[in-house]
């Protein structure tokens, strides 16, 4: 019998890009909301960001069709609802549409995890508590682009929020029954750092996150973003950004802090990524956290 989708057709944001990472079927749906990142609209995009606007509004696959396609494809481990800006910004994605996308994803796919993205100022205990509470059996993760624990450097990138803002958001995420994920950025072309300095900075950021997670009483995941050229910043990544650098930094963080770390290899459709050649090895590491995969890169 043909499956009847429980999703009502409506004007949800379209899907600009749908990426399925095997073997764990970790799925990313890149939303194309009618409003681009409001921070970028007000203050200009953050220095490194090529993701504040994914294209003309109204373009892309219907959300309902994307979910139906994924449902037909079988089990899904994790669904990332990636948003230019903040999923939890009601002026960008209405509360009703936030709810519909999270609840419909849960109903149709029953993934292990649903991950949304937000700037700290849009994290609200009430909103997040409602979303986390209704998707029973599925973990709700909220990813925040801290980029670095070096507050001055982050402010210089135009991100506009302090460590205290971030810490407050992490506390609210925990209180709401959801889980924080932190993006750290490496290989930013303008930083002129040596590989040693960049390695030290990543480890210092991981140490800061471990301390914060301990104080708040939550588990913290790191999502490591490796800079790639994009229309907003077409410069080449810093010279030190090689597969060996990334593998070595991730191994140090896992060994020293025991934190879960996922390394992004996806170029968001803009072209080649420095990690393309080791993508399948990194995908295996991301799923298993087995350091032997990273050691293969270092051989």
CB of 147 to ligand SF4, least distance (A): 8
Q: Which of 31, 49, 132, 169 is in the footprint of ligand SF4 by CB under 6 A?
A: 49
The span of 44-52, 55-63, 243-251, 266-274 binding ligand SF4 (CB under 6 A) equals: 44-52
Residue 166 within binding range of ligand SF4, rule CB under 6 A: no
Residue 122 within binding range of ligand SF4, rule CB under 6 A: no
Q: How far apart (Å, rounded) are the C-alpha atoms in residues 107 and 172?
A: 25
Phi, psi of 27 (to 5 degrees): -110, 135
The span of 33-41, 136-144, 189-197, 258-266 binding ligand SF4 (CB under 6 A) equals: 33-41
Instruction: Give the contact letters, 52-81, x = binds to ligand SF4 (CB under 6 A), - = no.
Output: x-----------------------------
The span of 8-16, 47-55, 185-193, 289-297 binding ligand SF4 (CB under 6 A) equals: 47-55
Burial class (CB in 10 A: 0-12, 13-18, 19+), 214: exposed
Phi, psi of 285 (to 5 degrees): -60, -45
What percent helix, strand, coil does the chain show, rounded to 5? 40, 20, 40
By beta-carbon proximity to ligand SF4, the closer residue of 7 and 37 is: 37
By beta-carbon proximity to ligand SF4, the closer residue of 108 and 117 is: 117
Q: Which of 51, 166, 245, 257 is in the footprint of ligand SF4 by CB under 6 A?
A: 51
CB of 109 to ligand SF4, least distance (A): 25
Instruction: Give the contact letters, 84-103, x = binds to ligand SF4 (CB under 6 A), - = no.
Output: xx------------------
Residue 40 within binding range of ligand SF4, rule CB under 6 A: yes
Q: Which of 119, 122, 221, 274 is in the footprint of ligand SF4 by CB under 6 A?
A: 119
Name 18's Cβ contacts closer than 8 Å, sequence gap at least 6: 27, 28, 29, 30, 61, 66, 69, 70
Radius of gyration of the CA atoms of the chain, in A? 18
By beta-carbon proximity to ligand SF4, the closer residue of 56 and 74 is: 56
Q: Which long-range contacts (CB under 8 A, 24 or more apart) does 198-205 make?
A: 198/238, 198/240, 198/241, 198/245, 198/249, 199/245, 199/248, 199/249, 199/252, 201/148, 201/150, 202/249, 202/252, 202/253, 203/249, 203/252, 203/253, 203/256, 204/149, 204/150, 205/146, 205/148, 205/149, 205/150
Which residues contact ligand SF4 by CB under 6 A?
37, 39-40, 45-46, 49, 51-52, 84-85, 119, 145
């Amino acid at each position: 019998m043909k499956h009847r989708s429980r999703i009502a057709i409506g004007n949800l944001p379209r899907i600009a890009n749908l990426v399925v990472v095997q073997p764990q079927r970790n799925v990313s749906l890149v939303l194309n909301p009618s409003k681009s990142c409001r921070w970028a609209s007000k203050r200009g995009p953050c220095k490194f960001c090529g993701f504040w606007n994914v294209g003309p509004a109204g373009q892309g696959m219907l959300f309902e069709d994307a979910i139906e396609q994924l449902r037909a494809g079988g089990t899904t481990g994790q669904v990332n609802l990636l948003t230019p800006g903040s999923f939890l910004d009601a002026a960008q994605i209405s509360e009703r549409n936030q709810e519909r996308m999270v609840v419909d994803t849960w109903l149709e796919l029953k993934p292990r995890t649903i991950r949304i993205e937000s700037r700290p100022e849009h994290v609200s205990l009430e909103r997040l508590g409602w979303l986390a509470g209704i998707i029973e059996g599925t973990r709700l993760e909220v990813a925040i682009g801290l980029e670095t624990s070096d507050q001055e450097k982050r402010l210089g990138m135009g991100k506009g929020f302090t460590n205290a803002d971030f810490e407050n958001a992490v506390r609210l995420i925990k209180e709401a029954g959801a889980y924080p994920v932190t993006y750290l950025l490496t290989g930013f072309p303008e930083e002129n750092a040596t590989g040693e300095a960049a390695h030290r900075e990543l480890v210092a950021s991981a140490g800061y996150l471990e301390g914060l997670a301990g104080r708040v009483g939550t588990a913290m995941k790191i999502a490591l973003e490796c800079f790639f050229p994009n229309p907003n910043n077409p410069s080449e990544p810093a010279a030190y950004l090689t597969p060996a650098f990334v593998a070595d930094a991730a191994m140090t963080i896992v060994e020293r802090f025991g934190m879960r770390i996922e390394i992004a290899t996806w170029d968001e459709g803009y072209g080649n990524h420095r990690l393309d050649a080791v993508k399948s090895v990194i995908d295996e590491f991301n799923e298993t956290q087995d350091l032997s995969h990273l050691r293969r890169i270092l051989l």
